[in-house]
Chain A
Amino acid sequence: MSTKSDLNLEYVANLARLALTGAEREKFSRQLGDILHYVEKLKQVNVTGVEPMAHASPVCNIWAADTARPGLPVAAALRNAPAQRDHMIVVPKVVE
């Protein structure tokens, strides 16, 4: 079952920084259309005055004292780096 949805796949894929193939675009459009159609059912629920739930248990002020402790040695920090030079991560030139 394919439903028309207002999913702008190109726009969203760009926001998510995902290059999609033509085949993926076609497939995702259809599948996500189905899923978005399915979740439409939430419109049936009356949510007037209901607080949104962002956390499973409502506690607050969870923090730590400002005491510095050692971090990762540079070698460990960069151990998984795909490209590095002078102890820094190399990326293609960033144009601002």
Chain B
Amino acid sequence: MADELIFQPAARLAAQLTAGKISSVRLLQAFLSRTMAVDGRVKAFNSHDETGALVQARAADERRAAGRARGPLDGLPVGLKDVIAVEGQPLTCSSKMLANFISPYDATVSVKLKAAGAILWGRMNMDEFAMGSSTENSAFGPTANPWDLSRVPGGSSGGAAAAVAAGELPFALGSDTGGSIRQPAAFCGIVGLKPTYGLVSRYGLAAFASSLDQIGTLTRTVEDAALLLGAIAGHDPQDSTSFRTEIPDYRAELKKRRGTWRLGVPREYFGAGLDPEIGAAVKSAIEFYRQSGCEIKEVSLPLAAEYAVAVYYLIATAEASSNLARYDGVRFGHRSTKAKDTVDLYCQSRAEGFGEEVKRRIILGTHVLSSGYYDAYYMRAQKVRTLIRNEFVCVFRDCDALLSPTTPTAAFRLGEKSADPLAMYLNDIYTISVNLAGLPGVSIPCGFTGTGLPIGLQLIGQPFQEADLLAIAHRYEQGHDWHTKHPALS
């Protein structure tokens, strides 16, 4: 009975709320009890405010009873990766540095979700400060993949992805700097959308790499992604990198946009390093599109394929080294009790407050910006970034979207790559260039490995053409039932 609710797409739950078939309180209780039952094993939540959530659910029910419902999201619980600020709630970034931090303000997406009536319920585990691809780099311990608890859920939005996959939440917001929404979505068998850079406000998203970060959605279906994106997209005067563009009704557009799309397949994304099972699943997805009347073109992205990871690790770490300088134990966050002067206060507080991966990236980023190295590393990376962007601009002259695997392998084992950062970084090889070029990308389920692990298909769209991208993804989803499968978690 509970299963009927907890694994339903959010859009269907919304319809049931609207029709008065269920109440928001009842719905929340279903997710609460599922979370109680499974989160001891999945460990997707850093924290959640049950009391506050019930108050919000009751308020939503009252609004609906009074005929003042705020729209489809009113009364639906949503999880937020613990990197998005909500006034009065913890904002830990899964770091000891912010273990006790309570945000005194709301992120713009939080303001928008509140206005839509959504219940901002759980704070989802992640790699510390969004740095990682496995959610193992968390001060609160790793999250497990609901399909196989010995494996990682991906990262850095691993808690959000795992919770949706495990039926603990209908949907969640994550952030994606190099694949941090799409890769965990692929590993957990759900839909992960990273919008075009600038479509969703970053105000209130604790920054990792400002020129790459983007908030996006983790949902059960493409329609849910359209629903949630519609609630959070739009220009924000508080984010100077936010873009002024018309926000269509993405959900309505899913049904309207039925083109015979021209879909590009980057040749280099199917080479060495790609697990054959993944390659086969993605190729059969491509075949589906061909048979449904789309034009499939082989395209080439040689620079993106070869250099994106290197460019990313220079630019992202450089920006991070500066963005994370504010965590110094002075105004907020962890403060070492050992310090005797301010320099010491910084050095000790940061040594105690940051985990290993964060330190590693701060060191790398500081090095590549330092005197004598800037031109060789940072400046050169920015120039190659231009070339990678140009490469996409070029292939998009005659493609509406690109198709590729989301990841080279399915979910790996906990601890498998944690000793080798470079191997971990290479896991993001297909997703990273999308962030470098500022494009929208979505990962949707496209099958399972022989051992029952989900496989993700990545679709890359043109800037601010999320309506097309989602419509293309939706066509595949309509023809398959991968998204109706759930982990047993027995």
Q: State yes or no: do A and B touch (Cβ within 8 Å).
A: yes
- A residues within 8 Å of B by Cβ? 7, 9, 11-21, 24, 28, 31-32, 34-36, 38-39, 41-43, 45, 47, 50-57, 59, 62-64, 72, 76-77, 79-83, 89, 91-95
Asked if B367 and A7 make an inter-chain contact with CB atoms under 8 angstroms apart, the answer reads yes
Asked if B347 and A19 make an inter-chain contact with CB atoms under 8 angstroms apart, the answer reads yes
Asked if A39 and B377 make an inter-chain contact with CB atoms under 8 angstroms apart, the answer reads yes
Asked if B351 and A52 make an inter-chain contact with CB atoms under 8 angstroms apart, the answer reads no
A41–B303 Cα gap in the complex (Å)?
11
Asked if A92 and B339 make an inter-chain contact with CB atoms under 8 angstroms apart, the answer reads yes
The interface residues of chain B, by DSSP majority, are classed as helix
The 6 closest A-B pairs by CB, nearest first: A56-B438, A52-B382, A80-B332, A82-B335, A56-B197, A17-B346
B255 within 8 A of A: no
Instruction: Choose one: B331, B377, B382, B438; the contact of A80 (CB below 8 Å).
Output: B331
Asked if B310 and A94 make an inter-chain contact with CB atoms under 8 angstroms apart, the answer reads no
Asked if A28 and B243 make an inter-chain contact with CB atoms under 8 angstroms apart, the answer reads no
A16–B389 Cα gap in the complex (Å)?
31
Report the tally of A-B residue pairs with Cβ distances under 8 A. 162
Instruction: Choose one: B309, B313, B345, B386; the contact of A91 (CB below 8 Å).
Output: B345
Using known A-B contacts A80-B333, A89-B331, determine if residue A12 contacts B367 with beta carbons closer than 8 Å: yes
Distance in angstroms from A12 CB to nearest chain B CB is 5
Asked if A32 and B340 make an inter-chain contact with CB atoms under 8 angstroms apart, the answer reads no
Distance in angstroms from B302 CB to nearest chain A CB is 10
- B residues within 8 Å of A by Cβ? 100-102, 104-105, 197-198, 211-212, 237, 240-241, 243, 303, 306-307, 309-311, 313-314, 321, 325, 328-335, 339-348, 350-351, 354, 356, 359-360, 362-364, 366-367, 370, 377, 379-387, 389, 421-422, 425, 437-438, 463
Asked if A52 and B379 make an inter-chain contact with CB atoms under 8 angstroms apart, the answer reads yes
Asked if B331 and A81 make an inter-chain contact with CB atoms under 8 angstroms apart, the answer reads yes
A15–B343 Cα gap in the complex (Å)?
10
Using known A-B contacts A31-B360, A32-B360, determine if residue A92 contacts B345 with beta carbons closer than 8 Å: yes
Instruction: Choose one: B363, B379, B386; the contact of A32 (CB below 8 Å).
Output: B363
Asked if A45 and B387 make an inter-chain contact with CB atoms under 8 angstroms apart, the answer reads yes
Residues in B with CB closer than 8 Å to A43 are 380
Residues in B with CB closer than 8 Å to A51 are 383, 386
Looking across the interface, which residue of chain B has its beta carbon closest to that of A63? Answer: B240
Residues in B with CB closer than 8 Å to A34 are 421-422
Looking across the interface, which residue of chain B has its beta carbon closest to that of A52? Answer: B382
A16–B361 Cα gap in the complex (Å)?
11
Asked if A54 and B350 make an inter-chain contact with CB atoms under 8 angstroms apart, the answer reads no
Looking across the interface, which residue of chain A has its beta carbon closest to that of B352? Answer: A19
Residues in B with CB closer than 8 Å to A80 are 100-102, 104, 331-333
Looking across the interface, which residue of chain A has its beta carbon closest to that of B242? Answer: A62
Instruction: Choose one: B332, B380, B389; the contact of A81 (CB below 8 Å).
Output: B332
Looking across the interface, which residue of chain B has its beta carbon closest to that of A94? Answer: B342
Asked if A32 and B347 make an inter-chain contact with CB atoms under 8 angstroms apart, the answer reads no
Instruction: Choose one: A54, A76, A81, A83; the contact of B382 (CB below 8 Å).
Output: A54
Asked if A39 and B310 make an inter-chain contact with CB atoms under 8 angstroms apart, the answer reads yes
A64–B102 Cα gap in the complex (Å)?
28
Residues in B with CB closer than 8 Å to A76 are 104
A64–B235 Cα gap in the complex (Å)?
13
Asked if A55 and B241 make an inter-chain contact with CB atoms under 8 angstroms apart, the answer reads yes
Asked if B363 and A13 make an inter-chain contact with CB atoms under 8 angstroms apart, the answer reads yes
Distance in angstroms from B202 CB to nearest chain A CB is 11
Asked if B386 and A56 make an inter-chain contact with CB atoms under 8 angstroms apart, the answer reads no
Residues in B with CB closer than 8 Å to A24 are 356, 359
A82–B332 Cα gap in the complex (Å)?
6
Q: What are 23 A-B contacts with C-beta separation under 8 Å?
A: A14-B347, A16-B325, A16-B366, A17-B328, A17-B343, A20-B351, A32-B367, A34-B422, A35-B364, A38-B309, A39-B377, A42-B381, A45-B383, A47-B383, A52-B383, A55-B241, A56-B212, A57-B243, A59-B243, A82-B329, A82-B330, A82-B334, A92-B340
A77–B345 Cα gap in the complex (Å)?
21
Residues in A with CB closer than 8 Å to B377 are 39
Asked if A31 and B421 make an inter-chain contact with CB atoms under 8 angstroms apart, the answer reads yes
Which of A12, A41, A50, A89: most chain B Cβ within 10 A? Answer: A12
Instruction: Choose one: B354, B384, B425; the contact of A45 (CB below 8 Å).
Output: B384
Asked if B363 and A18 make an inter-chain contact with CB atoms under 8 angstroms apart, the answer reads yes
Distance in angstroms from A70 CB to nearest chain B CB is 12
Asked if A82 and B333 make an inter-chain contact with CB atoms under 8 angstroms apart, the answer reads yes
A18–B340 Cα gap in the complex (Å)?
15
Asked if A19 and B367 make an inter-chain contact with CB atoms under 8 angstroms apart, the answer reads no
Asked if B351 and A18 make an inter-chain contact with CB atoms under 8 angstroms apart, the answer reads yes
A56–B433 Cα gap in the complex (Å)?
12
A39–B389 Cα gap in the complex (Å)?
18
A72–B454 Cα gap in the complex (Å)?
46
Instruction: Choose one: B101, B351, B356, B384; the contact of A47 (CB below 8 Å).
Output: B384
Residues in A with CB closer than 8 Å to B384 are 42, 45, 47, 50
A93–B437 Cα gap in the complex (Å)?
46
Using known A-B contacts A35-B364, A56-B438, determine if residue A19 contacts B348 with beta carbons closer than 8 Å: yes
Residues in A with CB closer than 8 Å to B367 are 7, 12, 32, 36
Residues in A with CB closer than 8 Å to B354 are 18
Distance in angstroms from B242 CB to nearest chain A CB is 8
Distance in angstroms from B199 CB to nearest chain A CB is 10
Asked if A91 and B330 make an inter-chain contact with CB atoms under 8 angstroms apart, the answer reads yes
Looking across the interface, which residue of chain B has its beta carbon closest to that of A13? Answer: B363
Distance in angstroms from A13 CB to nearest chain B CB is 6
